[in-house]
A and B are shown apart, each in its own frame.
Chain A
Amino acid sequence: MSERAITAMRAGLQSCAGCGLLSRPGPEDDRGNCPRCDQRLSFRKPRSLERTWAYLIAAAICYVPANLLPVLTTTTASGAEHDTIMQGVVLLWSPTGWPLSLIVLFASIMIPSAKILALAYLAITVERGSIANTEQRVRMFRSVELLGRWSMVDVFVDTFTAALIQLQPLMSVEPGPGLFFFAAVVVLTMLAAESFDPRLIWDAVDESEVEYA
């Protein structure tokens, strides 16, 4: 790149999130529709940071009961046993089952918390107009987008475990209230990632270039 970087926004152009077409808004209205696919357009996702924070805070709140309340309740002749997500990981740990145990640990405990922390870090640095570590922050956002869906694994594990083990009165498994909060964490963090506009990371860089140019 020989010439200075110019963004579509600085050129007065909006790109469509639905079809990718670049178009120029009318003089008095910068929230027009895409002429090709009719999608509502804006330069940046509207109220991106506010929405990201709202979803993140909700996710962080749900994260606590998701980890403290049982996700599965196993009823056998000898009584009922309540398992949280972490206890499920420990139960899976065996000489043969440890790789799966690690997968569940990674997908259910590490991904959701890493996602909340990463998005909060991104939102804070964007709010402060940071121009440092841009490359790393972009890579961070991409991993959040890519890995986030895998935290759904535990929801499926518990769903099908509970669906299958229905051998009353011998043994039965019911989903517990923790599963609801855990599913909420997954959905809320996905919505938070969807709300965050990565172009905001670069806007601070563009502004600093204008100042020092």
Chain B
Amino acid sequence: MYNFPVADDSLMSCRHCDLLQRLPELSPGESAQCARCREELWRPREDPLNRTLALTLAAAVLFAVANTVPMLGISVVGRSTATTVLGGVEQLWGQGMISVAVLVFVTAVLAPGLQIGSMLAIALEARRPRPRRWIAFPLRHYHYAQTWSMVEVMLLGVLVALVKITDYATVIPGAALFMLGGLVLILSAAQVTFDPRAVWMAIEWADESHGHSTGADADNPQP
């Protein structure tokens, strides 16, 4: 059973307080706030698809490297060990902390990967004159990946661990540490340029048949 869409694109409700309001005409860089609770309703971006694509590609490269090269090493009296992000997860798993290992894997590797992957897929697919319907899936679930993607929190955690360990051993910061620093910056820049609402509106224009049309009500949205 599908709801009947409201045809008026500028009408929207605030996601925080549900106030129904009409968006003013916005040019890129301007933003509209909710009249009641000041939540940002929409901020259209300058050239969103190209910028998101460029930044997400950079993020994907950094992410791939950050997860393959050593992140942190230590040396004590001639002995040294090093670990990658996944190495930390593996170690936890081996020590029997399976659920915590899964949590670290999800927040440090899986969710950021899905976040970068879905932004990349959306930025590529939305450039086509008629984006295909599967694009709805990453668009709809993107905010879950964003909520659980915690690269910046992990970076802070690694830095604290690094300082903690300097008491016992010589710490050798690995290349992945710098990659992660770059990734945090690039990823937040990519999130800022990413504009799901613009993509949804573009899809609507391209796909007027609406797949499973219930368009009877679309012409007269108000009773």
Instruction: Identify the closest chain A residue to B106 (Cβ).
Output: A187
- Shortest C-beta distance, A48 to chain B (Å), equals 13
Interface presence of B136 (CB below 8 A): yes
Interface presence of A69 (CB below 8 A): no
Residue-by-residue, is A136-175 near B (CB-CB < 8 Å gives 1, otherwise 0)? 0010010000000110111111111111111100110011
Of the residues A12, A103, A202, contact of B37 by C-beta under 8 Å: A202
Interface presence of A54 (CB below 8 A): no
Residue-by-residue, is B181-196 near A (CB-CB < 8 Å gives 1, otherwise 0)? 0000000000000001
Of the residues B79, B164, B204, contact of A170 by C-beta under 8 Å: B79
21 contacts between A and B (CB under 8 A): A6-B20, A7-B19, A13-B20, A19-B200, A25-B4, A33-B1, A36-B203, A38-B136, A39-B140, A149-B147, A156-B108, A157-B164, A159-B92, A159-B100, A164-B72, A166-B81, A167-B169, A170-B76, A179-B100, A199-B18, A202-B36
Cα distance A171–B157 when bound, in Å? 21
Cα distance A3–B74 when bound, in Å? 66
Does the CB pair A155–B97 fall under 8 Å? no
Cα distance A203–B12 when bound, in Å? 17
Does the CB pair B200–A162 fall under 8 Å? no
Residue-by-residue, is A105-132 near B (CB-CB < 8 Å gives 1, otherwise 0)? 0000000000000000000000000000
Contacts of B77 in A (CB 8 A): 170
Known: A25-B3, A154-B157, A161-B164. A19 touches B140 (CB 8 A): yes
Residue-by-residue, is B104-115 near A (CB-CB < 8 Å gives 1, otherwise 0)? 100110000000
- Shortest C-beta distance, B125 to chain A (Å), equals 14
Does the CB pair A165–B74 fall under 8 Å? yes
Does the CB pair B156–A103 fall under 8 Å? yes
A-contacting 9-mer, from B24-32, B47-55, B57-65, B210-218: B210-218
Of the residues A15, A21, A26, A92, contact of B160 by C-beta under 8 Å: A92
How many residue pairs bridge A and B at CB < 8 Å?
A: 222
Does the CB pair B169–A37 fall under 8 Å? no
Does the CB pair B108–A22 fall under 8 Å? no
Does the CB pair B153–A152 fall under 8 Å? yes
Contacts of B153 in A (CB 8 A): 149-150, 152-153, 156
Cα distance A79–B81 when bound, in Å? 22
Name the prevailing secondary structure of the A interface residues. mixed
Contacts of B33 in A (CB 8 A): none
Q: Which A residues are within 8 Å of any B CB, using their own CB?
A: 1, 5-15, 17-26, 29, 32-39, 41, 91-92, 97, 100, 103-104, 135, 138, 141, 149-150, 152-167, 170-171, 174-175, 179-180, 183, 187, 190, 194, 198-199, 201-203
Instruction: Identify the closest chain B residue to A199 (Cβ).
Output: B18
Task: Give 8 nearest A-B pairs by CB, closest first.
Answer: A156-B157, A8-B13, A23-B3, A18-B140, A163-B88, A163-B91, A7-B18, A32-B3
Cα distance A162–B159 when bound, in Å? 14
Does the CB pair A152–B81 fall under 8 Å? no
Known: A14-B3, A24-B6, A190-B147. A162 touches B91 (CB 8 A): yes
Contacts of A179 in B (CB 8 A): 97, 100
